[in-house]
């Protein structure tokens, strides 16, 4: 898993102070999650698309990420239109699809895609190390920042272990099916993955103790805010207030 797929670039957003991007992102994403009107939702989506264009991240990789997000939204489309009461517009046996359910599904889909684009365009255009550094400067709990950094640092290790175990199954001609044997194999697979992750965590812990790690990363360098950073924050504040006041 690569959490820094969009962090390398030469766009305006890539050069903005990570602290400013976090300060702009949190209220914007929170507001987008709470809005309940289509005018606000479309405005948020438009702002997210513009930010993605400024960040120059439109690519096949971004499309793949959005497809993954919308695959989960398909489950909402399969359930909400039939579970939300309202004016029925279509009957399927004993189930009826309501206009309010369709509207709610559409609203959630728009908001989810907007938040996904905001996430990629703002914090996603900075490295995890710089984001961790920025969160410490902004007063985030140090333990939370440490957990966030270690999650990024070692999720790839767990992913590589998972891939090697999958290759092991394929080399033994394992074909998953809907039977007890497949469930048993996947059960052992999951258990071994947890055990290996625990063993790796113990080795990492002992290595950190030997290096006198106290649970916190010292701040050795500091960010410098310039005019572009201030202008960016002002523009993002105006965008957030505009969406809120629609």
pLDDT tens track for 147-164? 888 888 788 788 888 888
CB atoms within 10 A of CB 4: 15
User: What is the percentage of the chain residues whose pLDDT exceeds 70?
Assistant: 97
Separation CA 229–CA 223 (nearest Å): 11
Separation CA 192–CA 138 (nearest Å): 39
14-57 pLDDT per residue, tens: 889 899 999 999 999 999 999 989 999 999 999 999 999 999 98
Alpha helices in the chain (DSSP H): 18-34, 38-55, 60-83, 99-121, 128-137, 142-171, 180-210, 227-245
Decide if pLDDT at 1 tops 60.
no
194: exposed, middle or buried (Cβ count in 10 Å: 0-12, 13-18, 19+): exposed
63-80 pLDDT per residue, tens: 988 998 899 899 888 888
User: What are the residue ranges spanned by the domains of the chain?
Assistant: 13-126+241-245, 136-210
pLDDT at 148: 84
pLDDT band at 220 (very low <50, low <70, confident <90, very high): low
174-206 pLDDT per residue, tens: 888 888 888 888 888 889 888 888 888 888 888
Tokens of 140: 């985030």
Are 18 and 140 in contact by the 8 Å Cβ rule? The answer is no
């Amino acid at each position: 898993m690569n959490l820094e797929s969009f962090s390398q670039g030469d766009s305006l957003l890539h050069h903005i102070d990570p602290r400013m991007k976090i300060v702009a992102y949190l209220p914007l994403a929170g507001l987008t999650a709470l809005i309940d009107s289509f005018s606000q939702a479309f405005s948020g989506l438009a702002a997210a698309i513009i930010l993605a264009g400024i960040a120059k991240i439109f690519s096949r990789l971004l499309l793949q990420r959005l497809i993954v997000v919308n695959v989960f939204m398909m489950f909402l489309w399969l359930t909400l239109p039939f579970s939300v009461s309202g004016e029925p517009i279509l009957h399927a046996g004993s189930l009826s699809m309501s206009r309010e359910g369709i509207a709610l599904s559409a609203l959630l889909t728009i908001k989810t895609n907007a938040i996904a684009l905001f996430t990629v365009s703002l914090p996603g255009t900075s490295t995890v190390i710089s984001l961790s550094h920025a969160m410490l400067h902004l007063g985030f709990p140090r333990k939370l920042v440490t957990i966030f950094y270690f999650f990024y640092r070692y999720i790839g290790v767990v992913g590589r272990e998972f891939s090697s175990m999958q290759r092991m199954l394929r080399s033994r001609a394992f074909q998953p099916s809907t039977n007890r044997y497949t469930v048993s194999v996947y059960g052992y697979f999951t258990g071994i993955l947890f055990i290996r992750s625990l063993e790796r965590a113990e080795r990492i812990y002992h290595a950190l103790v030997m290096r006198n790690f106290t649970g916190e990363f010292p701040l050795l360098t500091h960010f410098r805010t310039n005019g572009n950073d201030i202008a960016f924050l002002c523009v993002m504040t105006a965008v957030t207030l505009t969406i809120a006041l629609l």
